[in-house]
Amino acid sequence: MEEKVYTTSSPQETQHLGEKVALSLKNGGVIALYGDLGTGKTTFVQGLAKGLGITKRIISPTFIIVRTYKINAKYFYHVDLYRVHDEDNIKGLGIQEIINNSQNIVAIEWAQKLGNLLPQKRIDLRFENKTLDKRKIVFNKSP
């Protein structure tokens, strides 16, 4: 496990971190995002999408759960499980199929709700509020 701890002091800094992480994802990958509401998960995904070359504005997918963006021949999926409650609901969303295609790039907010449907090979990012504008972000990459 490769753990890194970041502190950001503005939404822009969190987006820059997202852009940096995007560079390691061009061949696909799963990014699991954890943390309470307002800790910066969606803000991070905005940077991630920018780093992947997506120019469309990234808005929170909370109400539709999964948003799909095309990047050349690949797809970026932004998933937000905030409103999903039981595991049967999760199984009906097609997320397993999305994850199983290793070419896909998938960012999942409230990833803990996937339980053991989360793949072993992934990046974990844990978000925490420190002050109004400071966020602690802990990065872990599976071997």
What residue ranges bind Mg ion (CB under 5 A)?
A: 41-42, 60, 109
Binding-residue pattern over the window 30 to 49 for ligand ADP, x denoting contact by CB under 6 A: -----x-xxxxxxx------
* Binding status of residue 124 toward ligand ADP by CB under 6 A: no
Residue of 91, 102, 117, 133 interacting with ligand ADP (CB under 6 A): 133
- Distances in whole angstroms, Cα of residue 3 to Cα of each of 27, 105, 123, 134: 21, 21, 10, 19
Tokens 């499980």 belong to 81
> Which residue of the chain is nearest ligand ADP when measured via CB?
40
| Cβ atoms within 10 Å of 94's Cβ, excluding its own | 12
Rounded to the nearest 10 degrees, what angle do helices 41-51 and 11-22 cross at? 50
- The option from Mg ion, ligand ADP, none interacting with 43 (CB < 5 to 8 A, set by class) reads ligand ADP
Check the CA dihedral 6-14-76-93 and report its sign.
positive
Residues in the interface with ligand ADP (CB under 6 A) total 19
Binding mask 51-90 for ligand ADP (x = CB under 6 A): ---------x------------------------------
Pairing of strands 123-129, 66-71: unpaired
**Which residue carries 């009906």 as its tokens?**
92
The footprint of ligand ADP (CB under 6 A) covers 8-11, 13-14, 35, 37-43, 60, 109, 127, 133, 135
